[in-house]
């Protein structure tokens, strides 16, 4: 099943304007919509000149993946928002769709506010050097926002502001989800891996264990994968420390010794295999948070495209051979729950 919205679904555009999901004459949901007066072009599946999305029904029942691409985010030409969301729990598909439909509009609204505050905002223009070339294909290559130099005299939004904007948007989306009585998100939630791309600037915000992987060229022009995100799992030392400080417990169960999970203080449930997520409010007092890890990359001429994938697909995305297979497909993704955005 592809990424889609329920027939009675809606998406909030900039500053709360409602955008109705519409159907064509055959009753099929239209994949492309215009998001309010900000000019955002919203896609839920399919491909364009710059992006492609694909998801496939697995063997576990309902497909809980969701994804979206917003072109001209916040009215800015050639600014793309891409997000992939992997739901879990009984209502995980509904949580994933809720986040898909609400997070981008909150980010768009926050960017509009930054526009007004800074008077002028046409393109990201930060004083940074090229990222270190990792032609080895190391799957752990990444740079945190705080490690990037800033241009304090720039009238454009700073990298620190980008981080604050993402954190604020994620927090508001999670709070809104908590108040939504139509979705039981007490033991259901979703991951989120998102990017905003404008020109050669790439901002990545990650929540959970979905991944962003960059395809770049090595010294011999071969395609190489570079992982842009870190899997936020309960056994990551800093994550485990936060969870245990909140009286949550972290351990693996018999039969799955390599999969560490979060458990409530006095009950052996729910056993969540990630340390950050939207929803899952039964664990929000036990160290689970909805604060994304935000990072930045300066794209170079060697970089080809970025793949966003759920854990059903990203097990393959750090293999060089898989990126070689992507080449004849012109960068189109083919793993379940995956979105792809070209560099150009």
Domain boundaries, the chain: 10-230+276-342, 233-273
- pLDDT-derived band of residue 70, with 50, 70 and 90 as boundaries? confident
Q: Who wins on pLDDT, 178 or 9?
A: 178
Between the alpha carbon of residue 308 and those of residues 38, 96, 280, the distances in Å are: 25, 15, 22
- Structure confidence by residue, pLDDT tens digits, 235-251: 999 999 999 999 999 99
Which tokens hold the place of 339? 């979105």
Q: What is the pTM of this model?
A: 0.75
- pLDDT-derived band of residue 198, with 50, 70 and 90 as boundaries? confident
- Structure confidence by residue, pLDDT tens digits, 111-148: 888 767 765 444 555 444 444 444 444 444 455 555 44
Mean pLDDT of 58-75: 82
What is the spatial distance between Cα 129 and Cα 194, in angstroms, rounded to a whole number?
Answer: 23
pLDDT at 335: 30
Multiple choice CATH, 10-230+276-342, 1.20.1250.20, 1.10.287.990, 3.10.520.10, 3.60.40.10: 3.60.40.10
**Residue 200: pLDDT above 80?**
yes
Lowest mean pLDDT among 64-68, 129-133, 142-146, 225-229: 129-133
**Residue 329: pLDDT above 80?**
no
Is the peptide bond between 270 and the residue preceding it cis, with omega within 30 degrees of 0? yes
pLDDT at 170: 98
Instruction: Say if CB 272 and CB 227 are below 8 A apart.
Output: no
Q: Who wins on pLDDT, 90 or 37?
A: 90
Which tokens hold the place of 300? 């170079």
Between the alpha carbon of residue 316 and those of residues 158, 232, 299, 310, 321, the distances in Å are: 34, 18, 23, 11, 9
- Structure confidence by residue, pLDDT tens digits, 11-48: 333 223 333 334 444 444 445 554 444 445 676 655 55
**Residue 339: pLDDT above 50?**
no
């Amino acid at each position: 099943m592809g990424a889609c919205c329920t027939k009675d679904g809606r998406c909030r555009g900039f500053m709360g304007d409602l955008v109705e999901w519409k159907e064509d004459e055959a009753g099929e949901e239209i994949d492309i919509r215009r998001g309010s007066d900000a000019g955002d072009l919203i896609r839920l599946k399919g491909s364009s000149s710059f992006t492609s999305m694909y998801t496939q029904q697995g063997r576990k029942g309902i497909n809980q993946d969701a994804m979206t691409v917003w072109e001209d985010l916040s009215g800015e030409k050639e600014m793309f928002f891409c997000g992939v969301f992997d739901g879990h729990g009984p209502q995980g598909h509904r949580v994933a769709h809720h986040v898909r439909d609400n997070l981008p509009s909150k980010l768009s609204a926050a960017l509009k506010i930054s526009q007004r505050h800074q008077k002028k905002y046409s393109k990201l223009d930060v004083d940074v050097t090229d990222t270190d070339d990792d032609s080895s294909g190391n799957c752990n290559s990444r740079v945190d926002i705080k490690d990037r130099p800033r241009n304090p005299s720039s009238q454009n939004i700073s990298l620190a502001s980008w981080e604050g904007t993402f954190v604020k948007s994620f927090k508001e989306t999670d709070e809104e989800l908590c108040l939504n009585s139509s979705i039981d998100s007490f033991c259901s939630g979703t991951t989120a891996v998102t990017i905003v791309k404008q020109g050669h600037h790439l901002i990545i915000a990650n929540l959970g264990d979905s991944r962003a992987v960059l395809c770049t060229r090595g010294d011999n022009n071969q395609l190489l994968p570079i992982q842009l995100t870190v899997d936020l799992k309960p056994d990551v030392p800093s994550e485990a420390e936060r969870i245990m400080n909140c009286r949550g417990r972290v351990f693996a169960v018999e039969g799955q010794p390599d999969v560490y999970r979060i458990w409530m203080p006095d009950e052996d449930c729910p056993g969540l295999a990630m340390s950050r997520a939207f929803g899952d409010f039964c664990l929000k007092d036990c160290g689970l948070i909805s604060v994304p890890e935000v990072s930045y990359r300066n794209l170079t001429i060697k970089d080809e495209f970025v793949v966003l994938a759920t854990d059903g697909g990203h097990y393959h995305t750090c293999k060089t051979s898989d990126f070689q297979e992507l080449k004849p497909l012109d960068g189109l993704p083919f793993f379940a729950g995956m979105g792809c955005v070209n560099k150009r």
